[in-house]
Amino acid sequence: MFRKVLIANRGEIAVRVIRACRELGVATVAAYSTADRDALHVRLADEQICIGPPPPEQSYLNMPALISAAQARSCDAIHPGYGFLSENGDFAEACQRSGLVFIGPRVRNVKLMGDKARARRFMRRAGVPVLPGSSSSVRTLDEGRQIAREIGYPVLVKATGGGGGRGLRVVHEPAELEAAIEASRGEGQAAFGQARIYIEKYVERARHIEIQIIADQSRNAVQLGERECSLQRRYQKVLEESPSVALDRRLRARMGRSALRVAAAIGYTNVGTVEFLLDPQGGYYFIEMNTRVQVEHGVTEMLTGVDVVKEGIRAAAGLALSVRQRDVVPVGHAIECRINAEDPFTMRPSPGTVRALRLPGGPGIRVDSALQAGGVVPPYYDSLVAKLLAHGRDRTEAIARMRRALAELQIEGIVTNVALHQAILEDDDFLAGRIHTRYLEGWNARRALEPARAS
């Protein structure tokens, strides 16, 4: 096991990793920007080191600064969390060259799955269902037009190195294609440092289903079941739950086997998530693989009792999985609400100082957060400030507990999207499980939120 780990991240995931390391007896070093000097992860870590000013490219995206910080504090590994450099193959390789263990999969896994077009080709050869689309990056507009004609509109233009909902554009007719390609290229360059794009068939009223896997360096792998992630706004996940009401026992087993086939095909190690689109007819298709811990990993942890973060650290240290497939028996139902510092109507970020904070509790409730009363939510980073999770014996109880927890949650000084979650949990279609990835876009959210706002 590692002796000391640098946490190359911030916010709730940095806190989560520090807690996992402490349980494993591993010392931690919090890397922080000057904006996060008084942040909770800095206070909880055994050691602290400043890596630069607030802008991410000068701190949490600054590879030389992070590696130098780890070496200066005699760390033997770096945990990237999620976001920032967590799926950056060059960073994983730089860690390796510097004698540091990158707590994640092998470099070749990160680089292969980070190139979405290449990953699609690989999965097709491995016998995993893949949507029709380009077999490589689309270089010209004419090439894009030809591919779109062949597979038929609507199509989805995607940044090759994409993730987190960035670099995606739905195109319904030929006249929209050029602008969509340029927009995706621009977002891809800004967010991932590359402007390459590919095109695939767009599935109307699809569900977003992902399968959590963990694997060790001896190629032992298990899948921990699915998460339903269809409630999204601007391709950003809002609420996740498990199990999905759209899957029966047979389909669940098939998708789980496909996820393990993905892991086996690339010799995957560590924590990862295989993402699928599920069409209304029950067909499912590989979208991508996230080679890191997911924001919503807590949903799986509550159902299975498996500590996903600790398993990832153990795997990176060369230890065997502590769980076998027959030991994975999900119990009950779990829901996660992403609490963001943003206006629930416009999604405009709301940085500021937290004047008062009251976190909910009680049976089946978990809160993952780095918020503190008197703490500052800076304007430089993602707006996620807390993950509120509820577990129940069934979906009805989990929803009831989440409603109670949202009513108890008090965050003063910043605007949050709590009212959006309260409205979703009262929505008849959500309660009946009639959702898809574009559901919230067609939902009259403002009307649904008015009662919550008035109260």
Per residue in 1-10, pLDDT tens?
A: 999 999 999 9
pLDDT at 164 over 70: no
User: Residue ranges of the alpha helices (H) in 305-433?
Assistant: 308-316, 395-408, 418-424, 428-432
Residue 292 amino acid letter: R
Mean pLDDT computed over 116-126: 87
SS3 category, 216: coil
Beta bridge partners of 239: 231, 337
Which tops the pLDDT comparison, 164 or 46?
Answer: 46
Residue 316 CA to residue 295 CA, distance in Å, equals: 19
At the fourth CATH level, the homologous superfamily of domain 132-201 is ATP-grasp fold, A domain (3.30.1490.20)
C-beta neighbour count of 273 within 10 angstroms: 23
Residue 277 is encoded by which pair of tokens? 């689109």
Beta bridge partners of 138: 197
Residue 36 CA to residue 419 CA, distance in Å, equals: 28
The tens digit of pLDDT for each residue in 203-229 reads: 999 999 999 999 999 989 999 999 999
- The DSSP string of 72-111 is HTT-SEEE--SSTTTT-HHHHHHHHHTT-EESSS-HHHHH
pLDDT at 444 over 60: no
What is the edge-to-edge ordering of all strands in the sheet holding 155-163?
Answer: 166-171, 155-163, 197-201
Reference 5, options 216, 310, 221, 218; nearest CA is: 310
Rg of the chain taking only CA atoms, in angstroms: 21
Which tops the pLDDT comparison, 454 or 327?
Answer: 327
C-beta neighbour count of 51 within 10 angstroms: 21
Mean pLDDT computed over 162-187: 86
What pLDDT does residue 455 have? 47
pLDDT at 117 over 90: no
Residue 94 is encoded by which pair of tokens? 């730089």
Mean pLDDT computed over 412-421: 97
My answer on whether omega of the bond before 154 falls inside 30° of 0, hence cis, is: yes
pLDDT at 244 over 70: yes
For tokens 């960073």, name the residue: 91
For tokens 């929505």, name the residue: 427
Q: Could you tell me where the beta strands, DSSP code E, fall in 243-351?
A: 270-278, 284-290, 333-340
The helix (run of H) or strand (run of E) holding residue 368 is: strand 365-369
Reference 295, options 411, 191, 384; nearest CA is: 384
SS3 category, 160: strand
Question: b or e along 377-410 (b: 16 or more beta carbons within 10 Å of the residue's beta carbon)?
Answer: bbebbbbbbbbbbbbbeebebbbebbebbbeebe
The tens digit of pLDDT for each residue in 342-389 reads: 999 888 999 999 999 999 999 999 999 999 999 999 999 999 999 999
Residue 12 CA to residue 3 CA, distance in Å, equals: 22
User: What CA–CA distances, in Å, run from 38 to 2, 11, 62, 374?
Assistant: 26, 11, 20, 10
User: What CA–CA distances, in Å, run from 183 to 84, 135, 139, 177, 296?
Assistant: 21, 21, 14, 10, 28
For tokens 């076998």, name the residue: 324
60 phi and psi angles, rounded to 5 deg = -70, -10
pLDDT over 90 percentage in the chain: 84
Q: 156: Cβ–Cβ under 8 A, 6 or more apart, which residues?
A: 168, 169, 170, 171, 199, 200, 201, 202
CATH of domain 207-454: 3.30.470.20
Residue 33 CA to residue 54 CA, distance in Å, equals: 5
Q: Where are the chain's structural domains?
A: 4-103, 132-201, 207-454
Residue 390 is encoded by which pair of tokens? 């509820």
Mean pLDDT computed over 131-142: 87
The tens digit of pLDDT for each residue in 19-73 reads: 999 999 999 999 999 999 999 999 999 999 999 999 999 999 999 999 999 999 9
- 395 part of the active site: no
Residue 177 CA to residue 160 CA, distance in Å, equals: 16
Which tops the pLDDT comparison, 76 or 442?
Answer: 76
By the 10 Å C-beta count (0-12 exposed, 13-18 middle, 19+ buried), 446 is classed as exposed
CA atoms within 13 A on the CB side of 264: 14
Residue 149's pLDDT band, with cuts at 50, 70 and 90, is: very high
4 phi and psi angles, rounded to 5 deg = -150, 135
Mean pLDDT computed over 410-416: 97
The helix (run of H) or strand (run of E) holding residue 226 is: strand 221-233
By the 10 Å C-beta count (0-12 exposed, 13-18 middle, 19+ buried), 152 is classed as exposed
CATH of domain 4-103: 3.40.50.20
SS3 category, 200: strand
The tens digit of pLDDT for each residue in 278-326 reads: 999 999 999 899 999 999 999 999 999 999 999 999 999 999 999 999 9
Residue 448's pLDDT band, with cuts at 50, 70 and 90, is: low
Picking from 124-128, 163-167, 298-302, 409-413, which range would have the lowest pLDDT averaged per residue? Answer: 163-167
Evaluated on CA atoms 126, 132, 133, 134, the torsion sign reads positive
For tokens 């139902």, name the residue: 333
Which residue among the candidates 185, 252, 292, 395 is catalytic per the annotation?
Answer: 292
Residue 185 is encoded by which pair of tokens? 């290229």
